[in-house]
Structure 1
């Protein structure tokens, strides 16, 4: 009705699923409309893509929070800094930020199960760190440890399950545990979510965003529809939307990158 024959949709898995539905409806109605997606999620959880724009900036900004937690923990007697980062289903930001900073002692992500309590639990290792190093920094992804929290079954406006706040939970459990073993600690909890989300894109993301946008427009003018654009094995490519929304990409616990992170933190398996 308004003469629109190209639709560009920017977002993550949910947004792409919506774009795919619009594309299918346009085909059903025989409308000549090109629907092209541009992957945008700081969680970096879109299938097949090397990275999505926003991720680099998020990791860079997350390091500032980790550095603040490190200084706070290091400056206090028996200081513990806890930083909660984004990552509902995937721990890419927490993993990369921990690896990049080199200041994290424990990194917890949704893909790797762990126990808080018990002889091999996170808190036992935290006690060891306080006794040997005198301070510790913990980095947790927001989706980590959800099996330890009470389930509410509540949904947000987009239909996603409302997650329990694991950052606050681990802060409370840490204080409780050290009180029981009569060790004084000074816990500082940092949740930089909105500072990371609202920051200006860095140079790398700015360039990536521009190139993805240009390629999306080229694809639409070439007559493609129901596709998304992204970097795959360092090459810019078009992919059918159903291919990238099958399920979210997540950290492989057997990958070299996760093992590099474990080497950096020095943490054991918490099982």
Structure 2
């Protein structure tokens, strides 16, 4: 199969030390066992994929099952581990930090864990951010708060300098919590470490509130994001319904993918239009957005519009593409743009009342909900197990509802987006009543 994905994880060497974990090596009901390196999970679980492999006499693409190994690569009591958080805030970062520290300390007896302050800047001594010593006592309550106790930043630093810093601090592990840019940076750090022949494991924990990391089922913080957004949509509906021809516009996060906007609208089905980056739409014309909005107001006299931050960028006239420090394209404000265009359009039609709500920074800085909290802890534990076994340049995530290890390179090659022909998007259309095409 030409499109077969390779999921081979790189290793620092042969694990020679016995794990301190007291687990069974024999499978049984409700028994937590060590994971064998031969215990793989098939990536494509469909009958079609299985049949194609049989027809081509090929092995299916398989994933490495996450979990503790009977033999580990590092002498755990001598390990120094480092944790860094990069990019924008997201619910659950502190939960992941806490989980890593607790797993290192209580599972493996690691005595020193250092927190790298303010993203990759903290691995550049010239910037001057001192490390933070992380202990179970220091992190035991941080899950109750949003943000990150380590601070964050965007943008990269010299890979060579960052590796030098890890070496000078005798770090054997780096846990990088971040999105696409962070993971690419972690992969580059891993490459430099391998080139130097060093025994330092580099682990990525995917963090993107937009849920746009490819292959994995979901990223942490995403459920909290649309959970918090849902009651905001209810309030927006109350505002719109409270005025004759009232319109509420709610802008939610979603730079390249509209999962938060779509999921929040399904969770709180009071929304009439969902505009996402994956959907091309026109403002004007017989089937354009403004004409469809007009028909909605004529019929119901109120409307709720949810728009992802990256939607409708084709409507702006741009000469140059501007990017932020992480290399992400900086989008124009589609929420304010829509508000202005709606106001202009209806000035010659009939009076409307428009309310604009942007809760993005409130949502991304919130603490994780219960579901995400459990998920974050599990991600942290599985990341630690993988690092202790000597695996490197990998991320931990759920695929087909099972925790697995994936090469960083596999998940950063492209962004996950909403399939506009999927059942998920069809459910959005059914919930809102908006047409399939707005052109």
* Corresponding residue of 1:31: 198
Deviation string for 1:43-98 (max 9, x for gaps)?
00001111110000000111122111100000111100000000000000001011
Aligned residue for 2:391, secondary structure, equals: coil
Match status 1:188 vs 2:355: yes
* Corresponding residue of 2:216: 49
Give the alignment of 1:152-171 within 5 angstroms: 152-171=320-339
Can you give the 5+ residue segments of structure 1 that lack an aligned partner in the other structure? none
Aligned residue for 1:237, secondary structure, equals: strand
* Corresponding residue of 2:300: 133
Give the number of aligned pairs.
Answer: 270
* Corresponding residue of 2:346: 178
* Corresponding residue of 2:172: 5
The structure with the largest alpha-carbon Rg is: 2
Match status 1:216 vs 2:383: yes
Query: 2:317 & 2:236 partners in 1: Cα distance?
Result: 27
Deviation string for 1:174-210 (max 9, x for gaps)?
01111122x0100000000111011111001101000
Normalised TM-score (structure 1)? 0.98
* Corresponding residue of 1:201: 368
**What is the aligned counterpart of 1:21 among 183, 188, 205?**
188
RMSD of aligned Cα (Å)? 0.8
Q: How much has 1:106 moved relative to structure 2?
A: 0.5
Please say if residues 150 and 164 of structure 1, whose CA atoms lie closer than 8 Å, have aligned partners that are also in contact.
no
* Corresponding residue of 2:312: 145
Query: 1:251 & 1:61 partners in 2: Cα distance?
Result: 21
Please say if residues 181 and 327 of structure 2, whose CA atoms lie closer than 8 Å, have aligned partners that are also in contact.
no
Please say if residues 284 and 290 of structure 2, whose CA atoms lie closer than 8 Å, have aligned partners that are also in contact.
yes
* Corresponding residue of 1:253: 420
Please say if residues 288 and 438 of structure 2, whose CA atoms lie closer than 8 Å, have aligned partners that are also in contact.
yes
* Corresponding residue of 2:410: 243
> Higher mean Cα deviation, 82-91 or 143-152?
143-152
Query: 1:263 & 1:166 partners in 2: Cα distance?
Result: 24
* Corresponding residue of 1:123: 290
Q: How much has 1:159 moved relative to structure 2?
A: 2.1
Query: 2:346 & 2:186 partners in 1: Cα distance?
Result: 50
Aligned residue for 2:392, secondary structure, equals: coil
Query: 1:230 & 1:94 partners in 2: Cα distance?
Result: 23
Deviation string for 1:137-175 (max 9, x for gaps)?
000000000000122422212222210000000000001
Please say if residues 209 and 225 of structure 2, whose CA atoms lie closer than 8 Å, have aligned partners that are also in contact.
yes
* Corresponding residue of 1:59: 226
Query: 1:210 & 1:159 partners in 2: Cα distance?
Result: 29
Q: How much has 1:264 moved relative to structure 2?
A: 0.4
Query: 1:159 & 1:230 partners in 2: Cα distance?
Result: 24
Query: 2:290 & 2:251 partners in 1: Cα distance?
Result: 17
Query: 1:19 & 1:248 partners in 2: Cα distance?
Result: 17
Query: 1:211 & 1:105 partners in 2: Cα distance?
Result: 36
Query: 1:66 & 1:149 partners in 2: Cα distance?
Result: 26
Query: 2:220 & 2:323 partners in 1: Cα distance?
Result: 27
Q: Specify which structure has the bigger relative contact order, considering alpha-carbon pairs within 8 angstroms and separated by 6 or more residues.
A: 1
